Amino acid sequence: MHRLPCPCGWLGQVQRGRSEELMEFTNPKVVNWLDDWIALMQPERSVVLNADPETKEMLVSTLVELGTIEPLNPQLRPGSYLARSDPRDVARLESRTLICSEREEDAGPTNNWREPGEMKEMMRTLYAGAMRGRTMYIIPFSMGEVGSPFTLYGIEITDSAYVALSMMTMATVDDRVLSAIDAAGAFVPAVHSVGYPLAGRDDVAWPCNPEDTYIAHFPETREIWSYGSGYGGNALLGKKCLALRIASVAARDEGWLAEHMLILKLTSPRDEVYYVTGAFPSACGKTNLAMLVPTRPGWRAETVGDDIAWLRRGEDGRLWAINPEMGFFGVAPGTSVKTNPVAMETVSKNTIFTNCARTADGDVWWEGMTKEPPEGLIDWQGKPYTGEGPAAHPNARFTVSIHEAPNLASERDGVPISAMLFGGRRSSLVPLVTEARTWEHGVFLGSIMASETTAAAEGAVGRVRRDPFAMLPFCGYHMGDYFGHWLSMAETDAQALPKIYLVNWFRRDADGGFVWPGYGDNVRVLAWIIDRLEGRVDGVDSPLGTIPSEGDLDVEGLELGPEGYDQLFAMNAEELEMEVELIREHYARFGDHLPKELAIQLEEFDQAVQAQSKG
């Protein structure tokens, strides 16, 4: 029986009600909340965690002993471990992710809704005795810097040591957080259980309950209840659940934005500093852009964040952003020294890998890391790799502290945003880069974003779906109202808002190959954007917005040729006309919640398409 060091000491056996050692918490709201859940879930013991090295070491030892993680070769990957999940628990479960608003209409057509009272009653039945034989880990955490007005606090309770260890990487977990929560009693309650009590049965390496998995959000009361899955955003409740679904509702109510966005610091050869955000669906190049290594001389890029941005109005009228996370939870397949050298250096040590393949010499491997798989691989399910199917799961992940990034920007508590990028995977139609004409037009471009689906979420891979603002799985309320909230940001001082750009790195030629080289060469597009911000170059009008004038986009040294360059910006009239009709269908989902401004933008887009067709 392990005893984990923690601020309040070892809490020992919990029978009924509150253990006396929980007196470390003095705020009645916190104490009563913990009392209720300990009594319902009936853990064998409870422990409050912080992120000191001894606690982490004990969690690692527990997980190694259980077989959940295994150490990697310390000479090749120091301080790193490999986890293999249950094959039934490998990705976000969007079909089991619920927005339990008081009114179904408030959840909107893009969310799965359940009546909150009924959902809580059903889940309390599942939670009853769910932690028998297990330890309840109590994790006070902050999303954002402790003490900052940007920050939201939460307490996650979980019976998974893997989740506890991962939360210590992805959020701030220390004594300052505990004190801040206890002083104010303000926190987002985040309840998690793998749904695998040990009464009458032995433990397993990856406990879960796929038949009864639910990730429920209660927007009005700012609560998160998760049951059955131990994987990723289903279980690390500070990430998508709090930082996006719950935070998006708080942002709507309080006048700010909680977005699925990277934040990049870019310094030009003129030593001009710019901060750029980018919204891309998962596995569409967001982390690669956040960790950009520019190929053009004189440009420098630093990472502020790769996944989430919270944006608030500053006194100067501009939008200021923070990354509330303290770690990276990235998709491993496709990551290589060529595609993302910064990520490869970041995960060179002190990293938890999940569902990757293991090499014969005790390292990890995934598709795309090298051209050919090495000999003697053990696949993500722990079996010798035969060459059939993927060796690593397509949604295999790495979890690593943000401080391991070699290009980490020093700014943590707010940077002014100059430009916002929206993008996805489109093999045609959408140009390499397009500037929105106005803030309203930019919101229109964000609202119609579409991308090929990936293995980061359940469902068919390769199907094109609308993913507005890359927030389809993450918006905690009616998406039509979400569009309206974005539009409302321009009601005061619209000129101070960032310029909005639509980008598409994924256009393909007739042979199916990518036309644009991407990766570090994406700085060429960013350079054009900055030239536009500074008024140094003009542009050409197109149905979707302003595209570069010939000669203004730096393509020196690229083997594009005239035909390749034209392919980056070509907009086929027939495809455009079809896109107009598809957008009409997309907008129809939102009924009378669709802002009138976007209906006007669609009609203007239709008119521009018709004009081009006639021209």
**So which residues are the catalytic ones?**
284
Residue listed under structure tokens 């003129």? 270
CB atoms within 10 A of CB 26: 11
Sequence-separated (6 or more) residues with CB below 8 Å from residue 161: 59, 62, 63, 66, 68, 135, 137
H/E stretch holding 166: helix 161-170
Q: How far apart are the C-alpha atoms of 70 and 158, rounded to whole Å?
A: 21
Taking alpha carbons only, the member of 468, 467, 436, 445 closest to residue 454 is: 467
Q: How far apart are the C-alpha atoms of 7 and 50, rounded to whole Å?
A: 7
Phi, psi of 355 (to 5 degrees): 65, 30
Taking alpha carbons only, the member of 393, 299, 306, 297 closest to residue 347 is: 306
**How would you write 174-193 as a 3-class SS string?**
CHHHHHHHHHHCCCEEEEEE
Hey, what are 89's tokens? 């628990």
Beta strand 262-267 with 300-305 is antiparallel
Residue 139 and residue 156 in contact, taking contact as beta carbons nearer than 8 Å: yes
**200 CB burial (10 A radius; 0-12, 13-18, 19+):** exposed
Sequence-separated (6 or more) residues with CB below 8 Å from residue 43: 14, 131, 132, 134, 135, 136, 159
Give the alpha-carbon dihedral of 253, 314, 529, 586, to 10 degrees.
10
Please, what is the end-to-end C-alpha distance for the chain in angstroms?
A: 77
Rg of the Cα atoms in the chain:
24
DSSP bridge partners of 97: 215
Q: How far apart are the C-alpha atoms of 207 and 68, rounded to whole Å?
A: 9
3-state percent breakdown (helix, strand, coil) of the chain, nearest 5: 30, 20, 45
**Count of alpha carbons within 13 angstroms of residue 40, beta-carbon side:** 18
The length of the chain, given as a count of residues = 615
Residue 507 and residue 567 in contact, taking contact as beta carbons nearer than 8 Å: yes
Q: How far apart are the C-alpha atoms of 100 and 217, rounded to whole Å?
A: 6
